[in-house]
Chain A
Amino acid sequence: MMNMKIRQLSLSALRNALLSLYALFALFPIFWMILITFKSDAEMYTTTFQFHPTLYNYKEVLLRTDYFKAFLDNIIVSSGAVLVSILVGVPAAYALARYKFKGKEDLAFTILSFRFAPEILVILPLFMIYQALGIYDTYFGLIWVYQLITMPLLIWVVRGYFEDINVEIEQAAQLDGYPWYTVFLKILLPLIKPGLVAAGLLAFIFAWNSFTFPLLLSGFRIETVTVASLKYIASDTVHYGQMAVAATVAALPEVILALLIQRHLVRGLSFGAVKG
């Protein structure tokens, strides 16, 4: 009896130790990055944890460079992309959830396959087309290409939320003589709202994190934080504190957004395949 108790205790100690080790691996780099943002260049090499905290790095990055403009550009492009995806994607998700029609599943899988198309393959020809159309390095061009990131996510996740709604609710409303668009706008949309908001925020995070598209289809007039932060690695005289500020400012919004949509995260991340 005593032996069993000891065995159980040591087992749970081992479990917690392993989890702590993983937690250290997952979280320490973030802590280290934030710590470095408050270090001056002079103390960067000489001290580890004890130093005189300063806001100098934040001032340099946010006021002296166009990093803040990149931050705003990122907000414009990402939220623009999500809005377009919601406007055209939600009706499409509804059609996929509620109508029977020829080629439905093929259409749904075609939309999903956009997500898995290698980004470089899309970009190479698109680079030429964008130059020819004059939409290279424009908000319009980026918002358009971001649809490959945001649209499949939104359509697949929102489709699942529509399917969760009992079809009898709709049929009852239709029997009462409401046209389909009233049923859609006044009855269905409010029901899926929490899921829709979560999917929209996750799509925003994905768009925010996008790197290959803004790197190769913009960069002069419009720059996103993912692209702008790279400059801090490139030069030989690296200011690590400023590099850390750039990374922190780029990472913070999405970490906060992710906390808001925790409950819907698994469902969104798996495009509706896993209803967590």
Chain B
Amino acid sequence: MQNDLASSAIDYGKKPFWVQARPYLIMAPALLITVGILYPFVTAIYYSLTNYSFRTTTFRFVGLKNWIQMFSEPEFWHAILVTGKYAVASTGTEMLLGLGIALLLSRESKFTRILRVLLIFPLMIAPVIATIIWQLMINNSVGILEKFLNLFGVYDFPWASSAKTALLTATMIDVWVYAPFVVLLILAGLQSLPKSPFDAARIDGGSAWFTFRTLTLPMLKPFIYIALIFRLMASLQEFAIIFALTKGGPGNTLMNLSITGYTTGFAYLKFGESLPYVLVLWLIIFLISRKLVSRWLLVQQTATGN
């Protein structure tokens, strides 16, 4: 966890200007480079009020037209729904599975030691590459999952090609890549827990479930929140897995806000109209992350008793 910064900082308070300005000067290059990239963010708001298109060279100011049009578009509300469903399904599964696996892995044995290393592999593989790997698994002609399902009398399971199972397939890939992330963080949390409260609980004869609910879980909360924040923020804007799997299809089944913004801007070349979609996405992510980060700071205080 973050240290108390004030106590470790050198106080350059009453010094000449150039000494006081030094931290800003040291940071300036880093800020210049990143702000140069962030400048587009400001222009994004401006261009969302124009009819800019990649097809023509001229454009004009159209006010809130793009925004009003987007809100009246059923596709927009569909995209919001898909964004939510994808984020909840994948993050939810990853959190539950991650917590479970971390608890199982927290016991010391040769098997758990090896598995703790091996499970890093999926996490390090690019989501696009992971999607390709899973294409080799789910493909009905060469994929081994088809042969496995055949054993149970299921033939030609549609996976990504049917509207009914596309979200399930995308979620499965997301979980494959990112569940280890949750496992690693919670495992680090479990290993940092103090021993004495657990010894006390065992002497008092508390049941395993009681110990978990009243001791383990509250002390793990800061770690759970960190994992949740990172996973939720990323899954709300997931692009790579869906793009590589179906480009948002079949039909519009997997068209979340990221994919819809991309399709409107780059496939239909309607630049001005695409921006409101991604600006709404940014707003959603910003509001949720602010809420979660302040919750995290709170539970961290409670858990560490500072």
Bound CA span A227–B37, Å: 22
Within 8 A of A (CB), among B187-233: 187-189, 191, 223, 226, 230, 233
- Chain A residues closer than 8 Å to B239, beta-carbon distance: 119-120, 211-212
Given A124-B274, A208-B126, A101 and B37 touching (CB < 8 A)?
no
Q: B68: CB under 8 A from chain A? A: no
Q: A77: CB under 8 A from chain B? A: no
Q: B86: CB under 8 A from chain A? A: no
Interface centre among A29, A91, A212, A262 (most CB of B within 10 A): A29
Contact with A along B104-122 (1 / 0, CB 8 A): 1101000110010111111
- Chain B residues closer than 8 Å to A240, beta-carbon distance: 136, 139, 142
Contacting pair A163 B3 (CB below 8 A): yes
Bound CA span A180–B10, Å: 12
Contacting pair A229 B132 (CB below 8 A): yes
Q: B76: CB under 8 A from chain A? A: no
Partner of B237, one of A19, A26, A88, A120: A120
- Chain B residues closer than 8 Å to A209, beta-carbon distance: 124-129
Given A144-B33, A273-B1, A121 and B26 touching (CB < 8 A)?
no
Shortest beta-carbon distance, B282 to chain A, in Å? 5
Contacting pair A275 B1 (CB below 8 A): yes
Given A26-B122, A98-B10, A211 and B135 touching (CB < 8 A)?
no
What class of interface size applies to chain A in its complex with B?
Answer: 35 or more
Within 8 A of A (CB), among B268-288: 271, 274-275, 278-279, 281-282, 285-286
B143 (CB) vs chain A CBs: closest residue = A32
Q: Is the interface of A mostly helix, strand, loop or mixed?
A: helix
B10 (CB) vs chain A CBs: closest residue = A98
Shortest beta-carbon distance, A108 to chain B, in Å? 10
Shortest beta-carbon distance, A48 to chain B, in Å? 7
Within 8 A of A (CB), among B234-266: 237, 239-240, 243-244, 257-258, 261-262, 265-266
Within 8 A of A (CB), among B1-29: 1-3, 5-6, 8-13, 20, 22-24, 26-27, 29
Contacting pair B188 A276 (CB below 8 A): yes
- Chain B residues closer than 8 Å to A233, beta-carbon distance: 132, 135, 244
Given A19-B105, A122-B40, A269 and B185 touching (CB < 8 A)?
yes
Contacting pair B33 A274 (CB below 8 A): no
Q: B43: CB under 8 A from chain A? A: yes
Contacting pair B281 A32 (CB below 8 A): no
Contacting pair A19 B101 (CB below 8 A): yes
Bound CA span A112–B237, Å: 16
Q: A182: CB under 8 A from chain B? A: no
Q: A45: CB under 8 A from chain B? A: yes
Contacting pair B125 A163 (CB below 8 A): no
Bound CA span A252–B231, Å: 24
Contact with B along A124-139 (1 / 0, CB 8 A): 1110110000000000
- Chain A residues closer than 8 Å to B126, beta-carbon distance: 208-211, 226, 250-251, 254
Q: A4: CB under 8 A from chain B? A: no
Bound CA span A256–B120, Å: 11
A256 (CB) vs chain B CBs: closest residue = B124
Shortest beta-carbon distance, B7 to chain A, in Å? 9
Q: Which of A55-63, A147-155, A187-195 is found at the contact surface with chain B? A: A147-155
Contact with B along A227-257 (1 / 0, CB 8 A): 0011011000000100110110011001101
Bound CA span A13–B196, Å: 28
Contacting pair B10 A91 (CB below 8 A): no
- Chain B residues closer than 8 Å to A121, beta-carbon distance: 41, 44, 261, 275, 278-279, 281-282
Q: Which of B151-159, B161-169, B176-184 is found at the contact surface with chain A? A: B176-184
B186 (CB) vs chain A CBs: closest residue = A274
Given A26-B122, A226-B126, A240-B142, A91 and B41 touching (CB < 8 A)?
no
Contacting pair B137 A23 (CB below 8 A): no
Contacting pair A122 B5 (CB below 8 A): no
Pick 22 A–B contacts, CB within 8 A, sort by A: A22-B97, A26-B119, A26-B121, A32-B144, A91-B29, A96-B27, A100-B9, A100-B12, A114-B37, A121-B279, A122-B41, A144-B36, A152-B34, A170-B10, A171-B10, A211-B126, A212-B240, A230-B244, A243-B135, A251-B133, A255-B125, A272-B2
**Among all A-B residue pairs, the 9 with the closest Cβ atoms:** A125-B40, A209-B126, A276-B188, A99-B23, A92-B30, A121-B278, A88-B29, A95-B23, A95-B26
Given contacts A33-B136, A216-B266, A243-B132, 11 further A-B contacts (CB under 8 A): A18-B104, A23-B118, A27-B122, A88-B30, A99-B12, A100-B12, A107-B27, A114-B38, A118-B237, A147-B33, A147-B37
